[in-house]
Chains A and B, each alone.
Chain A
C-alpha cells in the first residue's frame, strides 16, 4: 500500500485556487451556454488569480517545504507568486477587453484555419468570442506559480511545461495578422521544445551526479563534489533552458518574433509574467541548489548578463516596430535582472534576491502597462505598432501619449519612476558583491536603451501628426483599469518605494 504523503494544503492554497479555476474553466467551456460563457470565464479566471493573490498575502511569513519536499513555500516563492497572480489578473483584464476591436475581441475563434483562406477571412469579422484563452491563460499562470515554488528539478520541469504549452497556443490566436501569429506560435513552440529538452538533459545529468532531483540534496552533492563534470554540465544545460524562457541573449532569438506576432494582450502577459516565473526559477536553482558552487555559475551569468544588455540595447535601436522594440527592451532588462542575480553574496547574504524580486515586480508592471497602451492605438488593420504611425500622437491623444511616456521613462530608468528604483536596487546589489564592472556596463547599456525609448517620446510629442494616422480607441473598463493600476504603481514605486522594498527585503528567503 502506498502511503499518502503529508501535504500542507494551506500552503498550497494559491496554487490550488488557480488550478481549480483553470479546471472549472474547461467545464464551463463544455456546459455553459455560449451567450454567457465570456463573462463567466472572465469572472472565474479573475476569482482564481485574485483569490491566489489574497491567499499569498494570508500566507505571508510561511516557511515550509511540503509535498515530500517537492514544493517550497517561503518568502521568495510567495512574493513571486503574488507578483505573478497580480500581473496575471491584470493581463486577463486585457484579454477581456471588448470595446477596442470592431469584432469585439482580440482573439480568433478558430486558430487552426490556414491563414489567408476564405474561412480565415470570414473568421476575422465574425462576432463570436474565443473563450478558451481564459482557462489556458489560467493554466499558464498556475504553471508559473508552481515554477517559482518548485523545490525539485522534476517538479520544476513539469511546471515549465504547464506554463509553456498554453502560451504556445494562445500566441497563435491573434484575430488579425493571422500569418504572423501562427508563425509566432510555431516558432515559440519549436524553440521552446528545444529549451525544454536542454533542461531535461541537464536534469538527467544532475540526477546522475547527485543521485537526487531535490534541490537540497543537489546542494549537498555540490558541496562534496563541487567540480564534477556531470554536475557542471548539468547546471549549464539547466540554466540554458531557463535563460531561454527568461529571453536572455543569446537565447532570445524567439522573443521579437513571438512578441510581435502574438496578440498584444498575450505579449503583455508573457513579457510580464513569464519573466517573473523564469527568474524565480533561476534564482531558486542557482541559490538553493548551486549556492555553494558560485564559481561555476557566476562567470556564466556574468557573461550572459553582459551579452543580454548589449544585444537588447543595441538591437533595440534598430527596430521600427514598437512590439519588437519592447521585445528587445525585454532582452535588455533580462540582462539588468541578471546583474541583480550576481548580487548574491557567498553565504546567501547580500541584497541580490530582494533587489531582483523588486525589479521583477517593477518591470512587470511597467511593461504590462506599455503593452496595454499599444492595444489602444489602432488603424484599419488592427493595432498600429509601426513607429512612424505614432508620430504626433501627443497632439491627437494627450492622455494616451502621457501615460505611454510615463512607462517609457520608467523603462529607461528615470528617477521618480519604478524603473529607477529597480535599477538602483539591482546595481547596488551587484556593486556590493564587487561586480562594479558589470554595473558600469549595465549603466552604459541603460544609456543606449534610453535612446530608443526616448525616440518614441520624440515621435509622439515633437513630430507633426501623419495625415492618415491611426486612431486611438476608447478603452473599455478592463483596459482602463489596467492602465490606471499600472500607471499609479509605476509612479508609486518610484516616489514612495519604501514599503514594497521593505517587503521584498523581508521576503528574500529561500528554504530548502
Chain B
C-alpha cells in the first residue's frame, strides 16, 4: 500500500479534475459542479488513505517520491509528508469538498462561466496539497508562488464589489513576499553549493548544513518576510481584511483556512530547521509581532461593522497565537501551534461559511443590517454559535485544546509574552459574542423587517446604509433556516469541532513526533533559549 504514490495522486487528481471541469461546455454548469464535488471527495478519500498508510512512529518523512526535475538547479520533484504536513493535507481534503458544496450557487447568474470557478478551486486544491508535501525547497517555492494565480482569479472574478482592488492587493503583497523569499532561496542554494561543492534544494540535506550565523540572519529574513505576509503577522496584514471580505465565501474559507497557514507552516518547516541560530536571534522580535498582532487585531475586529472583515481580523489575531507557539521553541507549544492551524481552519472555516450563508440571505455584510435572526433561523444561529465559541476557544471545542497547549507550552520560556497573549482570549470572547448577539438576538432588525420588497426600508439603524450594499435579487428574501445542502456543509464541521474538542489525541500523535524532529533539527528540543 505504501508503494502507491499517494502524494502525487493528491496533486494530480485535482489538477486533472480542474482541466476536465474547465473543458466542459459552458451550458453544463451542473455537471461541472458535480465533477468538482466528485474530484474533491476523491482527494479527501486519498488523504484519509494516506493517513492510514502513514506510520506515526516511523521515520520523519514518509511516502516519499522523488524524480529529477531540474538537474541544473539541483532540484528534484521530491514529495514526502511528516505529521505536520499530513494534518494540513487532511485539512485541505476536508475543507475543499465542503467549500464546493457551499459554493454551489456562488457563480450562478453572473456573466462568468460557472465551470471556471470550480476549475480554479480544484487547481488551487492541487497546489495547496503540493505546497505542504514538497520536500524540495524549490518545489515548495514554485507551489507557494503558483498558488497565487488561482486565488487571484477567484477573488478577482467572483468576489464582492471591490474585488479588483482586493485581488491586486493580494497578488502584489504576496508576490513581493515571494520575490524576497526567492532571493533567500537562491542564496540558500549558493551557500549549499559553496559548502557541498554542488548546490541542492533537498530539505534533508539543507537542514544538516552548517551555515554561518550572519548569513543565516540574512536568509532567514527573506523566508520570514514572505511567510509573515502570508500568515499574516502585523504589520504585514493589511491585505487580508480586504481579500477576506471581497473573496467569494468559498475562496475566503480556503484563503484564511489553508493558504495563510502556509505562512505558519513555513515558519515551522523552513525557518526553524534551516536557520536555527537566526531563529533564536529573531525570536523576541517575532514574539513581539505575534503578541501585538493578537491584541491589535482583536481590538480591530471589535470595531468592524462588516462581518467578513471581522472574521478576517479574528484570524490575524489567531495567527499571532500560532506564531507565539512556534517561536516559543517547546514541544508542547509547537504541537499546540500545529493543532491550532488545523483547528483554526475548521473553526474559522465554519464561521466564514455560516456568515456567508447569512449574507446570502440578507444580501448585506453589515452587522447592523441583522438582528433577531435566531428566532427565524435557529439552525443557522446554532451553527453560528458553535463556530463562534470554537473561535473564542471555549473548553469543549477543538480550539481550546490547541490554545491551551500553546499557552502552557510558551509560559515556561516566555512568561511575559504568554501573559499578554492571554488577554487576547478575553477580547476574542468580546468580538465573537458581540457579533453573535447583535445579529442573532434582540428585536428583529434590518433584513428581517423587510419582507415585502415593495416596502421602503425602515428609517434609522443600518437601514439607510444597507441599501447601498444590498443587491437587488436578494431584496425579497425572507430569512429562511438552513437548507439541506447547507446542513450537509455545516454538520461535518460542527461534528469535527466537537469531536476534536474532546478527543484530539489522534492528531496530537501525528503532530508531536514531527515537532520534536523539527526542534531537534534546530538543536532546541525541550526548549533552550
Chain A residues packing against B (C-beta within 8 Å): 395, 409, 412, 414-416, 420-421, 423-425, 427-428, 431-432, 436, 439-440, 443-444, 446-447, 450-451, 454-455, 458, 461-463, 496-498, 501-502, 505
> Is the Cβ of B71 less than 8 Å from the Cβ of A416?
no
Tell me if B179 is interfacial: C-beta within 8 Å of chain A: yes
- When C-beta atoms are compared, the residue in chain B nearest to A358 turns out to be B72
- How far is B178's CA from A415's CA once the two chains are assembled, in angstroms? 10
Contacts of A431 in B (CB 8 A): 183, 186-187, 190
Contacts of B433 in A (CB 8 A): none
> Is the Cβ of B157 less than 8 Å from the Cβ of A461?
yes
Q: How far is the CB of A115 from chain B (nearest CB, A)?
A: 39
Q: Among the listed B73, B141, B156, B179, which residue makes an inter-chain contact with A447, where contact means beta carbons less than 8 Å apart? A: B179
- How far is B180's CA from A446's CA once the two chains are assembled, in angstroms? 10
> Is the Cβ of A414 less than 8 Å from the Cβ of B146?
yes
> Is the Cβ of A501 less than 8 Å from the Cβ of B73?
yes
- How far is B185's CA from A424's CA once the two chains are assembled, in angstroms? 10
- How far is B300's CA from A147's CA once the two chains are assembled, in angstroms? 62
- Check A498/B71 contact, CB under 8 A, given A427-B183, A462-B164, A463-B164: yes
- When C-beta atoms are compared, the residue in chain A nearest to B187 turns out to be A431
> Is the Cβ of B70 less than 8 Å from the Cβ of A501?
yes
- How far is B180's CA from A505's CA once the two chains are assembled, in angstroms? 26
- How far is B111's CA from A462's CA once the two chains are assembled, in angstroms? 11
Main secondary structure of the interface of B (DSSP, over half): helix
Contacts of B464 in A (CB 8 A): none
Binds A, one of B166-174, B204-212, B320-328, B332-340: B166-174
Q: How far is the CB of A336 from chain B (nearest CB, A)?
A: 12
Q: How far is the CB of B199 from chain A (nearest CB, A)?
A: 8
Tell me if B163 is interfacial: C-beta within 8 Å of chain A: yes
- How far is B132's CA from A129's CA once the two chains are assembled, in angstroms? 57
Tell me if B394 is interfacial: C-beta within 8 Å of chain A: no
> Is the Cβ of B183 less than 8 Å from the Cβ of A440?
yes
Contacts of A446 in B (CB 8 A): 179
> Is the Cβ of A458 less than 8 Å from the Cβ of B142?
no
> Is the Cβ of B111 less than 8 Å from the Cβ of A447?
no
Q: 1/0 per position for B35-70, CB-CB distance to A under 8 A?
A: 000000000000000000000000000000000111
* Other A-B pairs, 17, CB within 8 Å; known A461-B157, A498-B70: A409-B149, A412-B175, A414-B145, A414-B146, A414-B149, A415-B143, A420-B145, A423-B182, A425-B73, A431-B186, A431-B187, A436-B183, A436-B187, A443-B183, A450-B171, A462-B156, A502-B71
- How far is B152's CA from A450's CA once the two chains are assembled, in angstroms? 13
> Is the Cβ of B175 less than 8 Å from the Cβ of A462?
no
Contacts of B179 in A (CB 8 A): 443-444, 446-447
Q: How far is the CB of B388 from chain A (nearest CB, A)?
A: 33
- How far is B153's CA from A409's CA once the two chains are assembled, in angstroms? 13
- Check A395/B73 contact, CB under 8 A, given A432-B193, A444-B179: no
26 A–B contacts, CB within 8 A, in A order: A395-B111, A414-B148, A415-B142, A415-B145, A420-B142, A424-B73, A428-B73, A431-B183, A440-B183, A443-B179, A443-B182, A444-B179, A450-B171, A451-B172, A454-B171, A455-B168, A458-B164, A461-B156, A462-B156, A462-B157, A463-B164, A497-B70, A498-B72, A501-B73, A502-B72, A505-B72
Q: How far is the CB of B216 from chain A (nearest CB, A)?
A: 15
- How far is B171's CA from A461's CA once the two chains are assembled, in angstroms? 15
> Is the Cβ of B141 less than 8 Å from the Cβ of A415?
yes
Q: How far is the CB of A232 from chain B (nearest CB, A)?
A: 31
- How far is B225's CA from A444's CA once the two chains are assembled, in angstroms? 14
- How far is B162's CA from A462's CA once the two chains are assembled, in angstroms? 11
Q: How far is the CB of B164 from chain A (nearest CB, A)?
A: 5
- How far is B187's CA from A455's CA once the two chains are assembled, in angstroms? 30
Contacts of B485 in A (CB 8 A): none
Chain B residues packing against A (C-beta within 8 Å): 68-73, 111-112, 141-143, 145-146, 148-149, 153, 156-157, 163-164, 167-168, 171-172, 175-176, 179-180, 182-183, 186-187, 189-190, 193
> Is the Cβ of B72 less than 8 Å from the Cβ of A458?
no
> Is the Cβ of A427 less than 8 Å from the Cβ of B142?
no
Q: How far is the CB of A244 from chain B (nearest CB, A)?
A: 29
Contacts of B180 in A (CB 8 A): 443
Contacts of A505 in B (CB 8 A): 72
- When C-beta atoms are compared, the residue in chain B nearest to A430 turns out to be B186
Q: Which of A420, A424, A451 has the most CB of B within 10 A?
A: A424
- When C-beta atoms are compared, the residue in chain A nearest to B71 turns out to be A498
Q: How far is the CB of A298 from chain B (nearest CB, A)?
A: 19
- How far is B182's CA from A446's CA once the two chains are assembled, in angstroms? 11
- When C-beta atoms are compared, the residue in chain B nearest to A409 turns out to be B149
Q: Which of B69, B163, B176 has the most CB of A within 10 A?
A: B176
Q: How far is the CB of A169 from chain B (nearest CB, A)?
A: 40
Contacts of A436 in B (CB 8 A): 183, 187
Q: How far is the CB of B424 from chain A (nearest CB, A)?
A: 33
Contacts of B71 in A (CB 8 A): 498, 502
> Is the Cβ of A447 less than 8 Å from the Cβ of B176?
yes
- How far is B174's CA from A451's CA once the two chains are assembled, in angstroms? 12
- How far is B157's CA from A395's CA once the two chains are assembled, in angstroms? 11
Q: How far is the CB of B143 from chain A (nearest CB, A)?
A: 8
- When C-beta atoms are compared, the residue in chain A nearest to B138 turns out to be A424
Contacts of B175 in A (CB 8 A): 412, 447, 450
- When C-beta atoms are compared, the residue in chain B nearest to A463 turns out to be B164
> Is the Cβ of A428 less than 8 Å from the Cβ of B112?
no
- How far is B187's CA from A443's CA once the two chains are assembled, in angstroms? 13
- How far is B74's CA from A428's CA once the two chains are assembled, in angstroms? 12
> Is the Cβ of B156 less than 8 Å from the Cβ of A458?
yes
- How far is B185's CA from A431's CA once the two chains are assembled, in angstroms? 11
> Is the Cβ of B186 less than 8 Å from the Cβ of A424?
yes
Q: How far is the CB of A355 from chain B (nearest CB, A)?
A: 10
Q: How far is the CB of B356 from chain A (nearest CB, A)?
A: 21
Q: How far is the CB of B206 from chain A (nearest CB, A)?
A: 16
Contacts of A414 in B (CB 8 A): 145-146, 148-149
> Is the Cβ of A462 less than 8 Å from the Cβ of B186?
no
Contacts of B172 in A (CB 8 A): 447, 450-451, 454
Q: How far is the CB of B112 from chain A (nearest CB, A)?
A: 7
- How far is B190's CA from A423's CA once the two chains are assembled, in angstroms? 15
Q: Which of A421, A423, A458, A463 has the most CB of B within 10 A?
A: A458
> Is the Cβ of A461 less than 8 Å from the Cβ of B69?
no
- How far is B163's CA from A454's CA once the two chains are assembled, in angstroms? 14
> Is the Cβ of A461 less than 8 Å from the Cβ of B153?
yes
> Is the Cβ of B68 less than 8 Å from the Cβ of A498?
yes
Contacts of A496 in B (CB 8 A): 69
- How far is B150's CA from A415's CA once the two chains are assembled, in angstroms? 13
- When C-beta atoms are compared, the residue in chain B nearest to A444 turns out to be B179
Contacts of B72 in A (CB 8 A): 425, 498, 501-502, 505
Q: How far is the CB of A373 from chain B (nearest CB, A)?
A: 18
- When C-beta atoms are compared, the residue in chain B nearest to A413 turns out to be B179
